[in-house]
Structure 1
Amino acid sequence: MSPLPLAFYARPALEVARDLLGTLLVVEGVNGRRVGRIVEVEAYLGEQDLASHSSKGLTARTEVMFGPAGRAYVYLIYGMHHCFNVVTDAEGVGAAVLVRALEPVEGLSPGERTDGPGRLCRVLGLNLNHNRQRLDSDGLHLLSGAPVPEALVERGPRIGVEYAGAWAAEPFRLWVRGSGHVSRFVSRRPRRRP
């Protein structure tokens, strides 16, 4: 199978996020070939999206987000967890989709958890060395997978972006209903503050 073409990513982040569900993320490196089916993502729409890293404008860290679509944006959070994103949309927009959870397919043992962006990066061996890498390369690419029917796609607010005001409530997190690999239980009821 051939990697998804770079044109796949050159669309609005929400469209790409939806279409990423069910695709296969492939990492080939010192640990061999590791493959996971994407079951949870979050879309970040660009500079206007206050939850996005690009909302601070063009910086050394976010430069890749403003570059051509179809590149990896990998960053370190809390000084210990890597997060893997795919850059989307047109150059200059600053949009990306965070891959939050995978269902193990190949090269992963049953005990290796992939339910969360930091966990999946650790298990797949994704790190800052993958930042800016093209997503059609031999060592890092995505393949078409079994399409996820719309009836199985759930949508809700992104996780951990409460600082973003109204943008925090936007339903830009998408996941496959019923997957045991989604990173966090989602309640349909809004949380109440004490």
Structure 2
Amino acid sequence: MTIQEIVQLPALEAAPRLLGQIISRITPAGEIRCRIVETESYGGAEDKGSHAYGNRRTARTEMMFRQGGIAYVYLIYGMYHCLNVVTGAEDDPQAVLIRAVEPLDTKDEQRMLALRNVPLNRRRTLCNGPGKLCLALDIDKSFNGVQLLGSGGTLRLEEASDSLETEIECGPRINIDYAEEYAAKPWRFYIKDHPYVSAKNSNPLAYIHPLDAP
């Protein structure tokens, strides 16, 4: 499935398929490329964990109602940005939160370290969380609404050139206790045993792709 096809899917279907895909960020210091290793699905007006629950359409959530393929960037705790990939059809609020990435090579890691500008005892803490990865990629609200699939953009979503054969696990999303019965939905997806994943589940579930189900 191509990246163009993935972003047209509902968030719950797109989130596991975005694992292994590539984010490219062009900075003044050069290009940074990283692989997506953890995502969360926030899809549909019925999801109590979503900013657009109940079809809440505000200046903040408007991007979630757009056609899949653009960025939805918002601020949390008044200081950290979060990058989401809007997916699905127009007027159906769907978005996939990018929770963690890994730099593709040493050059990418060095540029991310320079942007974080903090001492790190463990390299895996560089971008193993939504706020951390936005700092490491210099992503802020100016990227809200940016088309991620266009060539030449300074923030792009690209299809991985290599086939990533790996196991995927899923479990509840992080820090959404307010979502009531939706808080326990296993809508966080990550590459099993990957060192850059932000948090491990105490009782992880193996994700089975619908096409692979018996």
TM above 0.5: yes
Counterpart CA distance in 2 for 1:169 and 1:65 is 22
Per-residue deviation at 1:29? 2.3
Aligned residue among 170, 177, 183 for 1:162: 177
Instruction: List alignment gaps of at least 5 residues for structure 1.
Output: 190-194
* Structure with more contact order per residue of length (Cα contacts < 8 Å, sep ≥ 6): 1
Per-residue deviation at 1:94? 0.6
Matched residue pairs, number? 185
Counterpart CA distance in 2 for 1:93 and 1:48 is 11
Instruction: List alignment gaps of at least 5 residues for structure 2.
Output: 114-122, 205-214
Task: For 2:63, give the aligned amino acid.
Answer: V
Are the aligned partners of 1:66 and 1:92 in contact in 2 as well (CA < 8 Å)?
yes
Counterpart CA distance in 2 for 1:142 and 1:69 is 12
Aligned residue among 166, 183, 192 for 2:198: 183
Instruction: Give the equivalent residue in structure 1 for 2:188.
Output: 173
Instruction: Give the equivalent residue in structure 2 for 1:192.
Output: none
Instruction: Give the equivalent residue in structure 2 for 1:78.
Output: 77
Instruction: Give the equivalent residue in structure 1 for 2:16.
Output: 18
Counterpart CA distance in 2 for 1:139 and 1:61 is 22
More helix by share: 2
* C-alpha RMSD over aligned residues: 1.8
Alignment deviations for residues 30-88 of structure 1 (CA, whole Å, 9 cap, x no partner): 23211110000000012110000011510000000001110000000000000000001
**What's the secondary structure of 1:50's corresponding residue?**
coil
Task: For 2:59, give the aligned amino acid.
Answer: A
* Percent identity over paired residues: 41
5 Å-filtered alignment, 1:38-117, equals 38-55=36-53, 57-106=56-105, 107-109=108-110, 111=123, 113-117=126-130
Counterpart CA distance in 2 for 1:182 and 1:40 is 6
Instruction: Give the equivalent residue in structure 1 for 2:29.
Output: 31
Q: Give the structure-1-normalised TM-score.
A: 0.89
Counterpart CA distance in 1 for 2:189 and 2:74 is 21
Counterpart CA distance in 1 for 2:168 and 2:91 is 29
**What's the secondary structure of 2:63's corresponding residue?**
helix
**What's the secondary structure of 1:118's corresponding residue?**
helix
Per-residue deviation at 1:148? 3.8
